[in-house]
Amino acid sequence: MEDFLPPGGDPALAGEGVFLPLINHIFVTPFDQPMYKRILFRITSLIFCFLILTSVRLFSQSIPQSVSNTGIYGFLDELAGEQIISINPVVKPYSRLFIAQCLEEADGKREALNRRQRRELDFYMMDFGKEGHSGVAAQGRSGVEVQTAFAEASAVGGGLWFNGIRGEKRMDLFYYRDSLFTITVNPILGGEMFANSAGNATYWRNGAVIEGYIGKWGFYASLRDNHEKPLLGLPGYLTQREGGHIKGGTDWSEMQGGVTYSWKWGNAGLVKDRVQWGNNYNGANIFGGHVPSYVMLKLQVTPARWLDFNYFHGWLNSRVVDSARSYWVVNSYGTDYREVYHKKFIAANLITVTPFRNFRISAGNSIVYNDLDFYPGYLLPILFYKSVDHSVTSGINNMNSQMFLDVSSRQIRHLHLYGSIFVDELAVSRISKKDEWNFLSYKAGFRLSNYPFPNLSLTGELTYTYPLAFQHNVTTLTFENNLYNMGHYLKDNTREWYFALDYRPARTLNITLFFTDAIRGPDHTAIGGSRVGNPPLISVEWRSRMTGIRASYQVINDLYIWLSFTGSEITGEEEWSPDYFFGTKRTLNTGVSFGF
């Protein structure tokens, strides 16, 4: 682009500097080229010019912040509980820009924060202030002063450069920003170790993340190599621990990233990422968010302050071989059978209405479908997909559809009340019958924060799931990606109690006492039999009780260290838990991690 800027041109006028020369170049293209090439070139160039013009001087961008960054998500939740800010916690991840806006709003109400909260606010502003209007964090300076500094830097050097320097912003390996373009590069490094009577278990990861903006366009890419021994997050385990596809070893890679486009009241993108839907503090029961990432088209719009709409269409991995499309390959390397998986897709939408401040009702539906090549009907964001499916699969077995409802209330300061229900299959006739049950999962909970004591919070949560919720008798239509359940991590026919007491005595220091009691009944998908008339938890086939304490501290932005001690007792079906944790164990866990 610099080739099109006039000498000494202002970078803020980059759009004008590019547009006029390109227009001239379009219409003086040599006419000795074939006609179709000239037409294609001009159309492409005009589209390019349009994108540049619509990007200049605009600052509405969207890059998601990983939910693994528990510090910032916990802080926003605390601010919402104090009624300092207003958030919609049913859909995560949040965008970095949205987080920055929340922090700026809290910065305008500093008098309502205690000392620890103010220090934590300044700490996170060093990171997310990069997404703010000033372009750099405004710690200790007014917005006018920072914008003036940014303008001066742009005038002399075309932008702001930070290479491993900690000043008024967080430390980044590389950071650059000018009036049009922003880019951040950081490493991903970390590891942890477990120790109990079964010996030692280790996990470490390495990689890098790139994030940036070009006008209204956002882009990000995160690559991680994971190394774990023994494996603690396989698909069959009832755990929230992350896992991935393993090819006969203990290593797997995870690539996330995407390109997004934003406007004043919404954004859309093609991304490879995770989604988490449903209010929770210990595992969502709509989309749990702990499965391997997958490619999806995403849409989020907020046309009014009281209305928020989310949609995505994803390409899943069925891990079921399609013998009709598989074939033999014969070459100089030998003979090999080339396996091809069945196609599998998902579409989902969720609409959130805020009838009055701090009270939100969300409702939506989803469908997992296959045997179609990217059906256009499921690209329509606002449809009820079960009804669409009835027309597509009329006269044969339907696809796998779901419905969900979530309610969140923060009317009472310090208190968050919430509940959600996931409906996998619903028959009105079963409601009044004593020997038949619908396929449901529901969650209810509360969090009381900073009352009656500051920096202290109490959480209680119940999750109850009936048999065959999140399951399906057709292997290509399961509510799974890469064999990992996309719903609640305990799967079907389960019940879990979760309690936690959190104390935050200092900036980004969190000490948590926690207790969980989880049970699971028979797995009816494995034993077969009737799909209806399966009573919930008729017997306990697996049980996990855990009591522990965990302390974590964020030394600098994104650099976490932690130490925990857990007493656990896991009994029943051994295949549902790692051997390392099965039985009665006292486990010490410590780790350090930079980046997500």
pLDDT at 133: 54
Q: Is the pLDDT of residue 20 over 90?
A: no
Judge contact between 296 and 271, C-beta under 8 A: yes
C-alpha of 471 from chain center: 22
Helix axes 35-55, 14-27, angle to 10 degrees: 170
Look at residue 161 in the predicted model and tell me its pLDDT.
55
Q: Give the per-residue pLDDT at 159.
A: 57
Q: Beta partners for 421? A: 405, 442
Structure-model confidence comparison of residues 440 and 30, the more confident one:
440
Instruction: Select from 253, 248, 257, 240 the least CA-distant residue to 291.
Output: 240
Are the C-beta atoms of 387 and 422 separated by less than 8 Å? no
The CA–CA distances, whole Å, from 151 to 12, 15, 259 equal 10, 18, 28
Is residue 78 within 8 Å of residue 281, measured between CB atoms? no
Give the mean pLDDT of the chain: 87
Residues 22-71: pLDDT tens digits? 334 433 444 344 544 454 444 444 444 444 444 433 445 789 999 999 99
Residue 12 has pLDDT above 90, yes or no: no
3-state secondary structure of 540: coil
Across residues 360-368, what is the average pLDDT? 98
Give the list of residues 6+ apart from residue 187 with CB closer than 8 angstroms, or none.
Answer: 173, 206, 207, 208, 209, 594, 595
Paired residues of 550 in beta bridges: 512, 564
What is the pLDDT at residue 37? Answer: 46
Q: How many residues does the chain have?
A: 596
User: Contact at 8 Å (CB) between 5 and 17?
Assistant: yes
Rounded CA gap, 176 and 409, in Å? 40
For the stretch 390-421, pLDDT in tens is 999 988 989 999 999 999 999 999 999 999 99
**For the chain, percent helix, then strand, then coil, each to nearest 5?**
20, 40, 35
Distances, alpha carbon 114 to alpha carbons 16, 450, 453, 509, in Å: 48, 10, 12, 15
First CA to last CA distance, the chain: 32
Does residue 495 register a pLDDT over 70?
A: yes
Residue 325 has pLDDT above 80, yes or no: yes
pLDDT digits (tens, 9 = 90+) for 442-469: 999 999 999 999 999 999 999 999 999 9
pLDDT tens, 121-180?
Answer: 999 999 999 986 544 333 334 333 444 444 444 444 445 555 444 447 899 999 999 989
Burial group, residue 184, by CB count within 10 angstroms (0-12, 13-18, 19+): buried
DSSP E strand boundaries for 230-306: 251-263, 266-273, 276-277, 294-304
Q: What is the pLDDT of residues 266-294, one digit of tens each?
A: 999 999 999 999 999 999 999 999 999 99
Q: Token pair for residue 380? A: 């329509």
pTM: 0.86
Position 18 scores a pLDDT of 39
What residues have CB less than 8 Å from 123, skipping those under 6 apart?
A: 507, 508, 554, 557
Span of 148-157, 312-321, 352-361, 559-568 with lowest mean pLDDT: 148-157
Per-residue pLDDT, 267: 97
Please tell me the predicted confidence (pLDDT) of residue 60.
58
Closest CA to 487 of 430, 402, 570: 402
Residues pairing with 183 in the sheet: 176, 212
User: What 3-state class would DSSP assign to 80?
Assistant: helix
